[in-house]
Amino acid sequence: MAESARLIIPVWGEAYVNKVLSVTLPAMLAPGNLPALCGTFDVELVIVTESRLLGMVRSAGSFRAAERICKTRLVPLDDLLTSVFTDYGMVLTYGLFRGFADLGPRVTETYLLPFIADFVIADGSLRHLGALMQQGKRVIHAPSFRVVAENVDPQLQALVDHDSSVLSVAPRALAKLALANKHPTVKARTINQRLNHLEWMDQFYWYVDDDTLIGYQSPPALVAVKPERFVSQPVSFWDYGFLPEAAPAAEPYLIGDSDDFFMIEPQSRSTGQEMTRMGWTSFDELAWTESLRATTEHRRLGRQLIKIHAAALPDSIDGVIEESRAFMAELYRRLPSSPAPHFGHPLLGRWFDDASLRQLGAQEGEPSPRAGQTPAGSTFRSAASGTYFLASATKALQRLYCRMFGAPPKVSKFHPLWTETAPLAQKTARWQPTGRANVLWINSGNWRLLANQGHASGQAPDKRGPFSEKAPYDLCVCELALREMSELNRLYAALRPLMRDGGSVIFNTAKVGGVFDGAELFLSCCEFPDLDVSQINFHGTAIIALLRALHVRAMRPVATRPVARGAILVSLILLSPLVWLANARAARRDPSIFRTTWTSLTVEFTVKRHSSIAPRLDPSRAEAEDAIS
């Protein structure tokens, strides 16, 4: 007699029920999913939903198709709902419990497959899961991968066979779609794309190439469990409290390769936006938040490697894996010896208790996103004019000034622009040790010509274009005004085909005093590329901004008041030790960590293209692959 398995989907709200019926369930009906699982297990599909939507579920073509494959049950959850949006985790947890509560002690003889409404699985995922269940794996995890729903949902809908209500997408085809539409919260958790980060990091990813991402999730989704004991009521949210209570001794197993099991989670683009922060963070900050959040199970699972790939794994993956393991080892080395408890969790315990007891109609205020306001800087503009008054003294001071300060972009540490110009100068110097590097310089005057040259779709460079004649380039330096940073994504799409693999693209911009207030709010709304290895660096401090402003104001009268030139130069020379100290202090800071006192920033990309050729797809999966690609 086949073992029992129960697939549970809690869902409420008409829009989400429609999503389950139109995408989530059709994906489960793919040949390698529910039909394959039903060949080895006695499967029952349980949908836990609102009473008012039961008729909608019963009449759906996908549900009727599921009824022909396995047993089905509909269970109401009306009494679990509240009017408070943040109670989602509590309703989900109790909804999953309701999906197996009727089994009682028999739950220890049944595999539970808990899925949420957003999960969309690749064809063959449940077949592989069933094979692991047959091998006796009692607790099985697999990663879910967030994607932008606004982009992905229409494409998935278009692939559904409406006659059979089946959505069959091969793992690599689904991975290709996912990697091309990463959710902003995935980008913010990508360690070698340090453009922004999440306030609370429970997932860590590394970009390998166009078709490959590796990472760690703490925890990954629980996709199958055969409980060791019956637990009738939750003590915490599902991902925190169920396993320690229901299967405390079971050894967890992680499906770490997307070829075996792949599952996407379409979410609105704005989801998690309030948790996103500009720039990068520090190990100490990561360790502090992880120490408050991660339980014993989370720590155990959080160091297991996940590979998501739309083609054969590239040769370069080993180096990235080594880098990722060193990062995770350092993070876990900094954690205290005692993990967070699952019962009475320091962050979630009271929240769960309050949500569990909350009456319908209770209201809670929502925290507001934080938006920084920053002091504006100034743009340095040099001015020079000849004068014969006190000529010899002025020329001597000018020679001393030039030796001490230099001239933009090559200035010394005594110059208030050194903090802004030195990083770019150092990066370009590393590329030109012999003077033979092929470098492309772009500024605000010519970037639009490049962006309109036909590269925005990512095709091969137009050999007739003025920028394509000397391609591929080793280095591109692009100087943009702050307002033009909103075009960075489009510009990079045009630049990338012109770059050599391993080459660098550096964007540089500065805040302009009195011209652009609210720069941080503007940058937080910019969409940055999610390809290649990247990092944003913020340069400048409050004291440097002040000294730069003084420097600019001091130089302004030189052109019209030659007599003041000598006095101004003397003043700047006398201030130079203070400038040097301010620059030295700024150089010791980690520029990847955002501070509101920044005066300029650089965004650097290192091109990493896929280096291996994907094997030929099975004929049965080729159509779905082609449709998405």
Cβ-Cβ contacts under 8 Å for 534 (sequence gap 6 or more): 192, 193, 194, 195, 528, 603, 604, 605, 606
- Quote the pLDDT of residue 143: 94
Helix ranges restricted to H, 358-482: 391-405, 418-431, 447-451
Q: What is the pLDDT of residue 559?
A: 40
pLDDT tens, residue by residue, 109-152: 999 999 999 999 999 999 999 999 999 999 999 999 999 999 99
**Tokens describing residue 266:** 């379409």
Instruction: List, in sequence order, every residue forming a beta bridge with 229; answer none if it has no partner.
Output: none
Rounded CA-CA distance 216/627 in Å is: 30
Note the pLDDT of residue 348.
83
Spans of the chain below 70 pLDDT: 358-436, 444-466, 512-521, 541-576, 578-580, 582-589, 611-629
Write down the pLDDT at residue 346: 85
- How confident is the model at residue 243, as a pLDDT? 94
Rounded Cα distance, 63 and 273, in Å: 34
CA 322 centroid distance within chain: 20
Q: What does the pLDDT look like over 230-247, one tens digit per residue?
A: 998 898 999 999 999 999
pLDDT at 471: 79
Q: What is the pTM of this model?
A: 0.76
Pick the closest to residue 195 from 187, 207, 186, 203 (CA basis). 187
Closest CA to 421 of 503, 510, 534, 488: 510
| Amino acid symbol at 463 | K
Query: What pLDDT score does 326 carry?
Result: 95
Kindly give the residue spans of alpha helices, DSSP state H, lying in 99-161.
125-134, 149-159
The predicted pLDDT at position 373 comes to: 35
